[in-house]
Structure 1
Amino acid sequence: MNDLPTDLIRVVLADDHPVVLAGIRALLNADPWVEVVGEATNGGEALPLIRSVAPDVAVIDVSMPGLNGLELTERLTGECPGTKVLVLTVHEDAAYVQPLLKAGARGYLLKRSAAEDLLRAVHAVATGGVYLDPSVAGHALGDGSAAAAGPKPAETGETLSPRETETLRLIAQGLSNKEIARRFEVSVKSVETYKARAAEKLGLRSRAEIIRYAASHGWLDALTLR
């Protein structure tokens, strides 16, 4: 392992269908910069495996015995913050997309898109970005109740400053406050202030709502197309 490139992306797979697992593995093995370091056939197996090998990315199914994908995502976000979660599933309705993003998933890809987009999605989340399958990006905007969760800029009468806009955009793309502060060459406290002001102006109360806002304004388009 020591002779591998330092930017090699280490991945753990979790899916309860052996044929699907084999197909995902084959797709990832085609990329010399991706290494599959473990596989699990249910959420209960996946959690200790990911704790043990600390991969860069965990590619997980939603519907698994033991811990399901949502429960596993919540546990990984809290216990393994260095591992980015990419959900790979057949489900494309908002009932699945929104809770998983809220739980901390950095990517959501439909299995029918895997042949074309899996490697792209893995690279995106591994480098700190967010990847939403184009077919589900609209669902990340939420349903009618989510749309009413907070006032729009036009309703508040306030507009974002360029720095506030850029802060929200980078947060939606998965960067931490520390990474944004380094990019802006300011303190982390300043970034927190930009974020708080922007969120207050837009009525956004969570990272999931920031992502929905970002998707509605095309801020994630570059991520889903690269």
Structure 2
Amino acid sequence: MSVLPTREGLEPPVTVDRREGPYGEVVLRRRGGHYEIIANGCFLMDTADGRSERLLVRAALDLLPGAGRSVLIGGLGVGFSLAHAAAEPRWERIVVVEREGAIVDWHRAGPLAAFSAGALEDPRVTVVHADLVAHLAADGPGYDALCLDIDNGPDWTVSDANAGLYGPAGLAAAHRRLNPGGVLAVWSAQPSAAFEQALRDAGFAGVHTLQVAVERGVPDVVHLARRA
């Protein structure tokens, strides 16, 4: 697992909060005017650029006709995906699954509240404090979209247990929790041809990838697929 890369020319980070939980250490840091979430020494995301996190939700909705739609957002993160979903009236039911209680706290009464923009108070929004892999595997209601962003991608997970989400069992669970015609959207810090093939092997249709160029390195991507 890599650590946060050096960012030349930027201010050194300041730790705002540090928590130990059942999945290890999670840290909120401030760097200049932005915040960063670090889990077990692995950089997850920051508030500097939310384009790909918004695309995760928007691209899924674009593939769904009509209104009255339901979405599960896997990972609250810095709140960009949730805020974007709450701003769209076509989402009738929005469920956020987040396993780190600290992250929920930082949005309810902390500095990340500005980025989720009050979405946690939206009556359409329900926050579930649970592990996403276990939540999808359990019995529960179906969704029109699953928008998942809990790792740096299928090939770069925050914890070993998360790897199961991108394998046959995890994708079968996601397929089962989608309504017919529903969309699976998965965020990644890099493209993964192997994951695209895994989606096809799991019975998903319309597999494709959207890219968002970043300042340095390979683009962020959103992997998209549908339950036929």
As a proportion of its length, which structure holds more strand?
2
As a proportion of its length, which structure holds more helix?
1
What TM-score do the two structures reach when normalised by structure 1? 0.34
What TM-score do the two structures reach when normalised by structure 2? 0.33
Greater Rg by CA:
1
